[in-house]
Homo-oligomer: A and B are copies of this chain.
Amino acid sequence: MTTARRVPQFPASTPAADLYDVIQRRRDVRSEFTGGEIPDDVLDRVLTAAHSAPSVGLSQPWDFVLVRDESTRRSFREHVLAERSVFAAQLRGERAQTFSKIKVEGIVESSMGVVVTYDPDRGAPEVLGRHAIADAGLYSVCLAIQNLWLTATAEGLGVGWVSFYREEFLRRLLDIPTGVRPVAWLCVGPVRALADTPDLERHGWRRRLPLEKVVHYEKYRHGLAR
């Protein structure tokens, strides 16, 4: 085997960004998109970061569909708003009232949709590390999404993960083959600012758990906060 470096490199002009600061500032964005252009070099760094994520058996089972077309985005938005109503119809009282104030998508206001998909056939049938856990490939795709999200935040972009949709609708909309699974529609683009507090917390939907509620020692303890 050659020992040449095959790992993708970021160009020397890549800006510095503090990891912890980015983790703390990152938000799920719906309202703050400017609609401005994403410079090509920025988009390239963000996608390179996503593509540098770990993956089961080095299968890299992700794909990224960049959707700028306005009519595609409007069709998707219409579907998402219908699904929002489906969810809203399940709620009663205070929950319904609180939800009514929460915006769940910035599909048209953002600069583009980045649709991330999972292809279970990539590297198959001998995907190292997947024989016992079929979902391991799906997990890899999510790791790529988090790399994308963090670097986008570092670059002054906002990211909003929209999940009010039926996978089959999105598959047909983007001509995604059967067997390839859409995992996320990410609204991506420059933002005016990132909120200090997550939207859902600010609107009183849910409060964060303290860390100590989710850390266990040696064995899983029962009876934790839900």
Q: A222 to chain B: closest CB distance in Å?
A: 6
Given contacts A6-B197, A126-B90, A226-B123, contact A220 B54 (CB under 8 A): no
Residues of B within 8 A of A99 (CB): 128
Q: A13 to chain B: closest CB distance in Å?
A: 11
* Complex: A175 Cα to B216 Cα, angstroms: 11
Report whether B52 and A23 are in contact in the complex, using a CB–CB cutoff of 8 Å: yes
Given contacts A14-B20, A90-B126, A128-B99, contact A174 B219 (CB under 8 A): yes
* Complex: A203 Cα to B2 Cα, angstroms: 10
* Complex: A24 Cα to B201 Cα, angstroms: 33
Given contacts A1-B204, A163-B129, A224-B63, contact A211 B47 (CB under 8 A): yes
Give which listed residue, B6, B9, B136, B149, contacts A54 with CB less than 8 A. Answer: B149
Residues of B within 8 A of A219 (CB): 65, 174-175
Within 8 Å of chain B (Cβ to Cβ): is A110?
no
Give which listed residue, B7, B56, B165, B175, contacts A163 with CB less than 8 A. Answer: B56
Residues of B within 8 A of A22 (CB): 19
Residues of B within 8 A of A119 (CB): 226
Give which listed residue, B3, B57, B220, contacts A200 with CB less than 8 A. Answer: B57
Residues of B within 8 A of A202 (CB): 1, 3
Residues of B within 8 A of A59 (CB): 206
Given contacts A51-B214, A215-B66, A216-B63, contact A23 B224 (CB under 8 A): no
Which residue of chain B is the closest to A147 with respect to CB atoms?
Answer: B23
Report whether B165 and A7 are in contact in the complex, using a CB–CB cutoff of 8 Å: no
Interface residues of A in 191-223 (CB under 8 A from B): 196-198, 200-209, 211, 214-220, 222
Q: A32 to chain B: closest CB distance in Å?
A: 15
Residues of B within 8 A of A138 (CB): 135, 138-139
Give which listed residue, B53, B133, B216, contacts A64 with CB less than 8 A. Answer: B216
* Complex: A102 Cα to B58 Cα, angstroms: 13
Which residue of chain B is the closest to A130 with respect to CB atoms?
Answer: B163
Residues of B within 8 A of A64 (CB): 214-216
Which residue of chain B is the closest to A66 with respect to CB atoms?
Answer: B217
Interface residues of A in 98-157 (CB under 8 A from B): 99, 102, 104, 117, 119, 121-124, 126, 128-133, 135-136, 138-139, 142-143, 145-147, 149-151, 154
